């Protein structure tokens, strides 16, 4: 299966250095910025968490390279190899197929952006995946619901129904497989993100936004 991207994606510019998204010449918020701005999650990184945050970045890069068939396993530490083997074994159990890997997306109507870690198939069902090195947070499902809305807007041939799946890597290493979210929980998560997006726009209109761009570094936020 190959997903066909919408033409409007050509108008999206992602600046990796500043982690900002620009669509049709205007900077727009990310999924995580919206969630943080409305108070659903701080996505904060407490003092002293620099190393865990860096480990999360390494894991993200390792999995990206592995799914792209570009990983040089000789460069991995024993711990990273263990994590990789856990992910590979789980991926085999669910017959994971990668379709879109770490691609910035934009919603052409509601004008927000984000970069899902992976859009793929789990047991032949369309799934939005997100790697999580930290512990579960209440906002995780809302974040993935935002990515789902982005995917719907960017790929008209997206198979339905779909599901979202936060992949908690520490739990996976303990033998706890990730749980696919669908049905009522999925619908509620989408409703929650839609509400957050509306509140964000209201605050933007009335110049009440509090999250500065310098505070926002989505890649770091999402891996902790």
Alpha-carbon distance of 173 to 220, in angstroms, equals 21
pTM of the model: 0.91
Closest by CA position to 125, among listed 154, 150, 148: 148
**Tokens matching residue 187:** 């619908």
Q: What is the pLDDT of residue 219?
A: 42
Considering only 24-38, 39-53, 57-71, 185-199, which range has the smallest mean pLDDT?
39-53
- Using alpha carbons, list the distances in angstroms from residue 4 to 35, 101, 108, 159: 28, 14, 16, 12
Kindly indicate the confidence band of residue 36, based on its pLDDT and cuts at 50, 70 and 90. very high
pLDDT tens digits for 78-132?
999 999 999 999 999 999 999 999 999 999 999 999 999 999 999 999 999 999 9
The widest CA-to-CA distance across the chain, in whole angstroms, is: 53
**Tokens matching residue 168:** 């908690």
Alpha-carbon distance of 7 to 56, in angstroms, equals 33
Give me the phi and psi of 55, to 5 degrees please: -60, -40
Mean pLDDT of 194-199: 97
Paired strand residues for 146: none
Alpha-carbon distance of 140 to 193, in angstroms, equals 11
DSSP, collapsed to helix, strand or coil, labels residue 121 as strand
Please report the domains of the chain, with CATH numbers, ordered by start residue. 7-223 (3.90.320)
C-beta of residue 165 within 8 angstroms of C-beta of residue 132: no
- Length of the chain in terms of residues written: 224
Those residues with Cβ within 8 angstroms of residue 32's Cβ, 6 or more apart along the chain or in another chain:
41, 43, 114, 143, 216, 218, 221, 222
Considering only 59-63, 125-129, 134-138, which range has the smallest mean pLDDT?
134-138
Q: What is the pLDDT of residue 43?
A: 54
Give me the phi and psi of 122, to 5 degrees please: -120, 110
Closest by CA position to 217, among listed 2, 53, 6: 53
Those residues with Cβ within 8 angstroms of residue 103's Cβ, 6 or more apart along the chain or in another chain:
115, 116, 119
Paired strand residues for 20: 15
Q: What angle do CA 38, 217, 207 make, to 5 degrees?
A: 40
């Amino acid at each position: 299966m190959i997903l066909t991207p919408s033409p409007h994606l050509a108008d999206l510019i992602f600046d990796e250095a500043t982690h900002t998204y620009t669509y049709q010449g205007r900077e727009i918020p990310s999924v995580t910025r919206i969630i943080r701005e409305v108070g659903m999650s701080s996505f904060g990184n407490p003092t002293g968490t620099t190393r865990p945050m860096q480990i999360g970045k390494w894991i993200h890069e390792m999995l990206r390279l592995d799914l792209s068939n570009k990983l040089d396993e000789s460069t991995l530490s024993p711990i990273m190899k263990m994590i990789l083997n856990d992910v590979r074994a789980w991926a085999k159990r669910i017959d994971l197929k990668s379709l879109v890997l770490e691609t910035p997306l934009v919603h052409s109507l509601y004008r927000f952006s984000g970069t899902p870690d992976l859009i793929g198939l789990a047991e032949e069902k369309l799934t939005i995946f997100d790697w999580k090195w930290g512990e579960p947070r209440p906002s995780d499902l809302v974040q993935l619901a935002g990515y789902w809305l982005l995917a719907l807007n960017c790929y008209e041939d997206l198979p339905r129904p779909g599901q979202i799946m936060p992949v908690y890597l520490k739990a996976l290493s303990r033998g706890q497989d990730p749980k696919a979210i669908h049905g009522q929980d999925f619908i509620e998560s989408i409703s929650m993100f839609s509400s957050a997006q509306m509140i964000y726009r209201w605050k933007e209109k009335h110049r009440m936004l509090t999250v500065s761009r310098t505070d926002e570094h989505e890649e770091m936020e999402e891996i902790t």
